[in-house]
Amino acid sequence: MTVATITSKGQTTIPQEIRAYLGVHPGDKLEFLIDVQGQVVLTPLTSDVRELKALLPKPKKKVTVEQMNKIIAKRGSKE
């Protein structure tokens, strides 16, 4: 069993073993929920960027960086 102490400011350190299990790192966010049995559930709010890959469809045609820069410059100018 892993134990942590709460400070007077309500802060605690998540033990390394638990951080490794959850796959969390400094700056990651955690969600705390109380389930119907009254248990506290701790869930990391982290995602691997590769999980986002399928969210957007593939572009119909490829665009170069130079083409993108031209479009951005054109839209930013006062026509």
In this prediction, what percent of the chain has a pLDDT beyond 70? 95
| Rounded-to-integer distance, Cα 30 and Cα 69, Å | 38
pLDDT at 79: 56
Write out pLDDT tens, residues 32-41: 999 999 999 9
Q: What is the pLDDT of residue 78?
A: 62
DSSP-assigned letter for residue 7:
-
Q: Looking at residue 53, what is its pLDDT? A: 77
Q: Which fold has domain 1-47?
A: Pemi-like Protein 1; Chain: D (2.10.260)
pLDDT digits (tens, 9 = 90+) for 22-60: 989 998 899 999 999 999 999 998 767 777 777 788 888
Distance between CA atoms of residues 23 and 42, nearest Å: 12
What 3-state DSSP class applies to 22? Answer: helix
> Domain locations in the chain?
1-47
CA 46, 13, 22, 34 dihedral sign is negative
